[in-house]
Amino acid sequence: MRTVLQRVSSASVMVEECIVGEIGRGLVALISVEEGDAERDAIYIAEKIATTRFFNDADYKMNLSVLDVGGSVLAISQFTLHGDCRRGRRPSFVSAAKPEIAVPLYEAVLNRLRTYFKLPVATGIFGAHMQVMLINEGPVTLLLDSRKIF
């Protein structure tokens, strides 16, 4: 699984001109599932989202997690994170998992964030054309990969 995490002061996602998810202070998590991913990948990504220290403490050091600051998560499915642009001009998405694999693993991340970590989680709609609006605070943007490629 790959995830792009952005620290935000607010964010929302629209589908067909209707807001379907929004948060205040917290993290936007763009999540992509890869062929071969399993439950352990979902657990790894959820734990990183919940516990990585993205927020500044009183000394302006990134020592606080989204849990520590009482923040929320806006989780968006985004298979294009597994786009391969190394050859040609059109990205290849062959390594992105098919929906029958991706949906349950994406939902496993959401479930773990909500039940185990008790985080408020808003979402987009899997597979829909979405418009994501956010105010990236910092800016702070980090990449996660459950296979630890980066």
Cα–Cα distance measured from residue 102 to residue 141, given in angstroms and rounded to the nearest whole number: 23
- Angle (CA) 62 63 68, round 5°: 120
Catalytic residue among 80, 115, 131, 141: 80
Catalytic residue among 3, 6, 78, 123: 78
Catalytic residue among 3, 6, 55, 79: 79
The two structure tokens encoding residue 15: 């589908």
Q: Respond yes or no: is residue 117 known to be catalytic.
A: no
Which ranges of 76-120 would DSSP assign to H, the alpha helix? 99-111
Q: Respond yes or no: is residue 79 known to be catalytic.
A: yes
List of E strands, the chain? 2-15, 18-23, 26-32, 55-56, 62-64, 72-77, 121-123, 131-145
Residues with a catalytic annotation lie at: 78-80
